[in-house]
């Protein structure tokens, strides 16, 4: 009889035990996650509400539109005043009109009559209507 030689048992490496990190994260990992979340949140809030954030950008655009309208109005007013200056320098009738209307001047020999056009308030002592007898 022949003896059979036994083979030595094959040793297989033992696999490391997997730890499910979703179930019980380490405290360091939890702190790191919290820090990352806080930094992200503060950067997002700063980008929206900060001095140079999105809301401030909208305010600047609105202000720029309002200022453009105001500039256009002032330029139109400036053109009108330039025309009036040119007219006063070249047209003697325009100069006479301003002297009469705004300064109350007249030509020699003219009699000027000024009317008071401001409305008067009725006083309390003088009644508006006379009482009628019955």
pLDDT at 118: 83
The tally of domains found in the chain comes to 1
* 3-state SS string for the chain: CCCCCCCCCCCCCCCCCCCCCCCCCCHHHHHHHHHHHHHHHHHHHHHHHCCCCHHHHHHHHHHHHHHHHHHHHHHHHHHHHHHHHHHHHHCHHHHHHHHHHCCCCCCCCCCCCCCCCCCCCCCCCCCCCCCCCC
**Inside any domain, residue 126:** no
Q: Which domain range does residue 36 map to?
A: 28-101
Residue-level pLDDT, tens digit, the chain, 134 residues: 566 777 777 777 776 766 555 555 577 788 888 999 999 988 888 877 777 788 888 889 999 999 999 999 999 999 999 999 999 899 999 888 888 888 888 888 888 777 788 888 776 665 556 656 65
**Inside any domain, residue 56:** yes
**Inside any domain, residue 23:** no
């Amino acid at each position: 009889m022949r003896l059979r030689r036994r083979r030595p048992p094959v040793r297989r490496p033992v696999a490391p035990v997997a730890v499910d990190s979703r179930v019980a994260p380490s405290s360091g990992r939890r702190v790191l996650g919290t820090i990352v979340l806080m930094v992200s949140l503060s950067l997002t809030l700063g980008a929206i509400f900060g001095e140079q954030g999105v809301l401030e950008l909208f305010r600047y655009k609105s202000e720029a539109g309002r200022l453009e309208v105001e500039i256009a109005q002032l330029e139109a007013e400036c053109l009108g005043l330039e025309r009036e200056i040119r007219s006063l320098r070249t047209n003697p009738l325009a100069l006479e009109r301003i002297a009469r209307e705004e300064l109350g001047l007249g030509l020699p020999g003219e009699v000027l009559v000024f009317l008071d056009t401001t409305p008067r308030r009725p006083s309390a002592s003088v009644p508006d209507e006379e009482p009628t007898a019955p």
